Amino acid sequence: MDNHLLKKYRSAKYALSQAALRCSKEYSLASAIKYAESAVSSALGAAIRTVNSVNYAFIGSIVCLIAAVLITSCATEETKTREEPKAAQTQTAKASPPKPQSVPQVKLDVKEYKLENGLKVLIVEDHKAPIATFQVWYRVGSIYEHAGKTGISHLLEHMMFKGTPRFGSKVFSNIIQKHGGTDNAFTTKNYTMYYQTLISSRLDLSIDMESDRMVNLMLRPEDFKSERQVVMEERRLRTDDNPQDYLLEEVTSKAFAVHPYGNPVIGWMKDIESITVGDLRKYYENYYNPSNAVIVISGDVNPESAMKMIKEKFGPIPGRIVERPAVPAEPQQTEEKRITVKKQAQMPALLMVYHVPSIPQKDSYALDVLATIFSGKSGRLYQNLVRNQRIALNAMAFYSGLSLDPDLFYFSGTPAQGKDTSELENSLLKEIDMVKTNPPSEQDVQKAKNQIEASFIMGQDSIYFQGEILGMYEMLGDWHLKDKYLDEINIVRPEDVQRVAQKYFTKENRTAGVLLPAGK
């Protein structure tokens, strides 16, 4: 490591430790984030032009990791007992709940553009390093797949790397890698995203090649047949031969009666087998066009120069009206659903899910706080079920509000040696009932908020995550929702957490699945 950078790195590490100390004393992230941001800038800003992008990525990741660990760890500590100026007052007066603090937002300077063909472009300048990330988001995921054709969104994502007349199979990725960059893609229930992170002076490569494959994908039958086999094998390895993932798929399918969220993103095996290259081409021509896409750029870029290149390459591509199937609304669940799965597995497992709303519905923020109270090694489930009662080897809760439609809240666990899934389920339900009966303390709620804030804020030091978070919220309907997220989290009260637990964690709203090792 360069001596100059080493000195900056040590300076940043010291400043970050001071940030953590201040955070633990004040029990607020505001000051800690302020010091952490200046420390990272001090460590990297002055020296960044003297190193290449690979060295920067390595050094930057170290510094940011230290920042995240220090600040998150101090955020999750218990509040220290503070000395009261008047002992008599503490004996007679009830402790008043803490007033909502102003949340330290990461205000990205987002420049928004829209081409005549309907293509939206969001650009964030961040000149810490000479790198940039280029992301193309398409408003298509498994939510829009027809019955019998599940998995077609994911299969098309694979085929997007099979080339165009200009850039043949694997040429796209090879060019990006040749210039020191990385590229990949992913498909979700709600959208599909393609991205490249590379030296910012070669952003033109991404713009040129992404515009080309938006309209000129070859979809050759021989490529399609081989790639379909790849996806089928992926499904076998990740789901069919993975007991826990198989349980997750079966429980999710059971929970949704009519909504396509009940279908796996990778698709059902029989549906993957039935997809034809003609199906894929029709799907591609319908959804892959400028009016159904959003470009997000973050990093060391000049917005005017970037837009000039985008208009030149993407502007001539005609926008089209996208034909979407009507997505059926999931009816309210009125009775508990249960399934038992027997697979070749080492240990039994339990999974319980509840139907819950998504962002921007107000209850989603209280559910986010509740999931954080339950989760992690300092969370209730681990502390009570794993560490103290020793009923479980692991226990967790998971929730993400980033869905177009209402989704699921997950509880899962593996029983400890000598325990069974019934005992674990009863213990999980007792933990849930405890929140429904007694709201969590102000301290527990504030601790969860601090954890959420730390994760959300520090993550945005990454130019990739800056772009990704804008894209995710834009896919939900409006990227401005991102700037309201921490404000909504900050106003969640203990009684809000109790209320959502009472409202959604009912027996009638629950689907439970049990994994039992076959032959045992």
Task: Show which of 78, 96, 118 is a domain's final residue.
Answer: 78
Question: 141 near 191, Cβ under 8 Å?
Answer: yes
Residues 435 and 507 in one domain: yes
Tell me how far apart the alpha carbons of residues 460 and 483 are, in angstroms, rounded to a whole number. Answer: 12
Q: How confident is the model at residue 70 (pLDDT cuts 50, 70, 90)?
A: very low
> Who has greater pLDDT, 292 or 34?
292
Residues 253 and 344 in one domain: no
Q: Is residue 323 part of a domain?
A: no
* Choice among 37, 77, 84, 157 that is catalytic: 157
Residue 21, pLDDT above cutoff 50: no
Average pLDDT over residues 324-329: 95
Q: Which of 74, 75, 62, 76 is nearest to 12 (CA)?
A: 62
Give the Cα-Cα-Cα angle 180, 467, 71 (nearest 5 degrees): 95
Which tens digit of pLDDT belongs to each residue from 169-223? 989 999 999 999 999 999 999 999 999 999 999 999 999 999 999 999 999 999 9
Task: Show which of 78, 98, 118 is a domain's final residue.
Answer: 78
Exposed, middle or buried by CB within 10 Å (0-12, 13-18, 19+), for 483?
A: middle
Question: 151 near 231, Cβ under 8 Å?
Answer: yes
Which tens digit of pLDDT belongs to each residue from 459-505? 888 999 999 999 999 999 999 999 999 999 999 999 999 999 999 99
Q: Is residue 328 part of a domain?
A: no
Residues 176 and 136 in one domain: yes
Active site residue 26: no
Residues 126 and 265 in one domain: yes
Residues 210 and 278 in one domain: yes
Residues 357 and 498 in one domain: yes
Contacting residues for 113 by C-beta, under 8 A, at least 6 apart: 120, 121, 122, 123, 307, 310
Q: How many domains does the chain have?
A: 3
Q: Which domain holds residue 291?
A: 110-314
Average pLDDT over residues 346-368: 96
Residues 303 and 363 in one domain: no
Residue 67, pLDDT above cutoff 70: no
Residues 305 and 156 in one domain: yes
111: which DSSP letter? E
441: helix, coil or strand? coil
What is the Cβ-side half-sphere exposure of residue 438, based on CA atoms within 13 angstroms? Answer: 7
Q: Is residue 84 part of a domain?
A: no
Q: How confident is the model at residue 250 (pLDDT cuts 50, 70, 90)?
A: very high
Residues 261 and 400 in one domain: no
Residues 152 and 56 in one domain: no
Residues 137 and 203 in one domain: yes
293: helix, coil or strand? strand
Query: What is the H or E stretch that residue 161 is in?
Result: none
Residues 61 and 173 in one domain: no
Q: How confident is the model at residue 43 (pLDDT cuts 50, 70, 90)?
A: very low
Which tokens belong to 221? 């039958």
Task: Show which of 259, 282, 314 is a domain's final residue.
Answer: 314
Query: What is the H or E stretch that residue 193 is in?
Result: strand 192-199
> What local confidence, expressed as pLDDT, does residue 518 receive?
87
Q: How confident is the model at residue 519 (pLDDT cuts 50, 70, 90)?
A: confident
Average pLDDT over residues 221-229: 96
- B/e letters for 181-208, b = 16+ CB within 10 Å, e = fewer, are bebebebbbbbbbbbbbbbbebbebbbe
Which tokens belong to 381? 């489930």
Can you give the CATH number for the domain in which 251 is found? 3.30.830.10
